[in-house]
Amino acid sequence: MAETRAAVRAVSLRLRRTVARRRRLLLFVAILGPGMITANAGNDAGGIATFASVGAQFGYSLLWILIPIAISLGIVQEMCARMGAVTGKGLADLIRERFGVRWTALVMLALLIANAGVTVSEFVGIAAATELFGVSHYISVPLAAALVWWLIVKGSYKRVERAFLIMSLVFLGYIVSAFLAKPDWSAVALGLVKPEFNFEHAFLFTIVAVIGTTISPYMQVYVQSSVVEKGVTPEDYGKTKIDVWVGTIFAILIVFFIVVSTAATLHQSGIEINTAADAARALRPFAGRYAEILFGFGLFGASMLAAGVLPLATAYSISEALGFEKGVSRSFREAPIFLGTFTFLVAVGAAIAIVPNLPLFRVLLVTQVINGLLLPVILFAVLRLVNDREIMGRHVNGPLYNLLAWATVIVVTAISLLYLLITLFPSLVRF
């Protein structure tokens, strides 16, 4: 009898522990939202191509840079999320109130042009990914555009957030792809803890490209606006702060595995990587068909996520800057400028992406220049706003946090301007 009671108690204890673990998991999943979506949207088609080329060209030697990038990205995203929770206003809203309508309209126009160009590249990424599986881009791009449009225009904020989080799961394929590549993990560990640096043009250009790809102006706009629309308040901001940092760490981990997979397979081969699709095809002879499929599937999911987030961030910024109604839970009648801007960007992005012989490099060159100019402006505006006690009250940055934030903004700004210089005048910049 005593043995039976002991067995029952043991089973009951195991059940309670299982229930507790499930509750903690559900709570953790419930926390995820704007931070996770924004950080992963930064790993778009252009980002994946950049990270893949890092591994192919430099092997594991640049892995160390991911640690300071993770800290920088997390700090910038956290400040914007905090402003959204405290003020209940988007970033463009606050910029308009503090710096004036004309200046804000100019910044938002530049953001619109830049994001339109990058949106085209996302649909090009969708086309490249589906053609890896034998599906014509004339079919896949219009279908993808229609799906993204329907999700936003016909959905609620909760449904959109849930769909974006599900899309983020495709990045897990890069983890599997890295293990299929069978890297030298001791060399990987050394690349993380032993910084290597030189002043060669290609090396510095790559570092600048990685940082410029990871932190983009639209990300700050989106995370703050989505925190506002989600209804986060200062009282429950702690959960959103966890979301921001978890999203940042997850996104940088995905970058880590992309670099590892291409470093393990392509570094010694001399294969040149210009697009993410190039990387997927190149993996097949070294890591097998499954690695190619997973890499291609990740490219598709990443491009779909960014094809939704980029136009949405732009619609938020334009609507906030001009003082119009906004929100994915609103109808066309309630928020015509917001949904009209989103629809325009998706339609134009998809239409241009299926144009034969598209000069994508020229499109991306223009958008990189505009984003390179915009990022310092946005980051310095964020720092001024987050340290304004009239706006933030007791939620301004603390002294140590402010030191890290200013250091981040100054370094990222310097690198962004250097990237701009190298992009505009490659023949004049020699190290």
What is the pLDDT at residue 345?
A: 92
What are 382-417's pLDDT values in tens digits? Answer: 999 999 999 999 999 989 889 988 988 888 778 777
Give the max Cα distance, the chain: 87
Mean pLDDT in residue range 366-373 = 67
Burial 150-185 (b: 16+ CB within 10 A, else e): ebbeeeebeebbebbbebbebbbbbbbbbebbebee
Residue 350 pLDDT level (bands cut at 50, 70, 90): very high
What is the pLDDT at residue 271?
A: 66
- Identify the CA nearest to 167 among candidates 266, 308, 316: 308
Residue 253 pLDDT level (bands cut at 50, 70, 90): very high
For 179-184, the CB contacts below 8 A with 24+ separation are 180/261, 180/287, 180/288, 180/290, 180/291, 180/294, 181/260, 181/261, 181/262, 181/264, 181/265, 181/283, 181/286, 181/287, 181/291, 182/264, 182/287, 183/60, 183/260, 183/261, 183/263, 183/264, 184/60, 184/264
Residue 79 has pLDDT above 90, yes or no: yes
Which is more confidently placed, 24 or 404? 404
Residue 26 has pLDDT above 60, yes or no: no
Highest mean pLDDT among 97-106, 233-242, 349-358: 233-242
- State both tokens at 289: 């068909």
What is the pLDDT at residue 81?
A: 94
- Report whether CATH 1.10.620.20 matches the domain 31-424: no
What is the pLDDT at residue 29?
A: 47
Average pLDDT, the chain: 81
Provide the 10 A C-beta neighbour count for residue 347: 15
Residue 367 pLDDT level (bands cut at 50, 70, 90): low
Residue 101 has pLDDT above 90, yes or no: no
Element (H, E) at 251: helix 237-266
Within 13 A of 259's CA, how many CA atoms are on the CB side? 29
Whether the CB-CB separation of 207 and 412 falls below 8 Å is answered with: no
Nearest-5° Cα angle at 424, 423 to 426? 65
What are 27-41's pLDDT values in tens digits? Answer: 444 456 788 888 888
- What are the distances in angstroms from CA 52 to CA 163, 219, 263, 386? 26, 21, 8, 35
Q: How far apart are CA 409 and CA 142, in angstroms?
A: 39
- Identify the CA nearest to 308 among candidates 218, 382, 228, 380: 218
Helices (H) and strands (E) in the chain, counts: 19, 0
Residue 25 pLDDT level (bands cut at 50, 70, 90): very low
Residue 423 has pLDDT above 70, yes or no: no
Whether the CB-CB separation of 233 and 40 falls below 8 Å is answered with: no
- State both tokens at 166: 């599900």
Phi, psi of 340, rounded to the nearest 5 degrees: -65, -45
Q: Given the structure tokens 């996104």, which residue do they identify?
A: 251
Q: How far apart are CA 379 and CA 216, in angstroms?
A: 10
Residue 286 has pLDDT above 60, yes or no: no
What are 166-213's pLDDT values in tens digits? Answer: 888 878 888 888 888 888 899 999 999 888 877 676 777 777 778 777
What is the pLDDT at residue 119?
A: 87
Residue 368 has pLDDT above 80, yes or no: no
Whether the CB-CB separation of 328 and 155 falls below 8 Å is answered with: yes
- Per-domain boundaries in the chain: 31-424
Residue 431 has pLDDT above 50, yes or no: no
Provide the 10 A C-beta neighbour count for residue 106: 13
Q: How far apart are CA 338 and CA 120, in angstroms?
A: 19
